[in-house]
């Protein structure tokens, strides 16, 4: 991969997208979305993550984030590694998961083409990192993140979607604390 869409400035403010391999709709289940939420909270409390915005869609997550400790790549790596292991474990142990075989087939298919992950892969390796240099870029990405559930037809107003920081910005009860821009 070239240097475009990589985190070059470890202290910079970035818009990132974490995509499930094969666009598998894993996050249509609450249990798996909650693993992401818990990991965001852990990284904020213990790793110096500044989380300014997020939305969890069915097969990808958009965020605006930064690191207090000049190590954003490390935080992203650790977050994706941990959530991957926990979600895969949760799928395997979930007796009610009707899509278990299908999901494992997708994850194994992508894993066999990637030497870095062993035999199973959950996230794609690309994060489509875009450094946000000015207020226009920040506002554009913030609106994009919060409008995702509206464009998907799930809610009428961005703040109506529970798994989004739009609720934080609307000063409504939310699942996690974030760092407001």
What's the pLDDT tens digit per position in 8-63? 899 999 999 999 999 999 999 999 999 999 999 999 999 999 999 999 999 999 99
pLDDT at 118: 73
- Residue 115, judged by CB atoms within 10 A of its CB (0-12, 13-18, 19+), counts as exposed
Token pair for residue 155?
A: 């809610």
21 contacts 121 by C-beta, under 8 angstroms: yes
Tokens 């110096």: give the residue: 48
List, for residues 80-97, the tens digit of each pLDDT value.
999 999 999 999 999 999
Please give the mean pLDDT across all residues of the chain.
Answer: 94
Helices (H), the chain: 30-46, 72-93, 100-111, 135-151, 166-169
DSSP conformation class of 123: B
* Dihedral of alpha carbons 23, 27, 29, 35, sign: positive
Cβ-based burial of 41 (10 A; exposed 0-12, middle 13-18, buried ≥19)? middle
**Entry pTM:** 0.94
Question: What is the per-residue pLDDT for 1?
Answer: 45
């Amino acid at each position: 991969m070239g240097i475009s869409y990589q985190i070059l400035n470890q202290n910079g403010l970035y818009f990132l997208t974490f995509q499930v391999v094969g666009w598998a709709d894993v996050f249509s289940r609450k249990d798996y979305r909650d693993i992401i939420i818990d990991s965001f909270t852990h990284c904020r409390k213990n790793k110096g993550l500044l989380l300014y915005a997020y939305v969890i869609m069915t097969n990808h997550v958009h965020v605006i984030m930064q690191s207090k400790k000049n190590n954003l790549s490390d935080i992203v790596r650790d977050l994706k590694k941990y959530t991957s292991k926990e979600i895969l474990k949760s799928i395997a142990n979930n007796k009610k998961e009707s899509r278990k075989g299908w999901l494992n087939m997708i994850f194994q298919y992508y894993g066999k083409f990637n030497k870095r992950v062993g035999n199973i892969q959950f996230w794609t390796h690309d994060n489509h990192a875009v450094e946000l240099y000015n207020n226009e870029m920040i506002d554009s990405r913030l609106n994009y993140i919060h409008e995702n559930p509206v464009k998907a037809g799930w809610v009428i107003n961005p703040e109506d979607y529970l798994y989004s920081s739009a609720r934080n910005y609307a000063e409504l009860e939310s699942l996690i604390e974030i760092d407001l821009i």
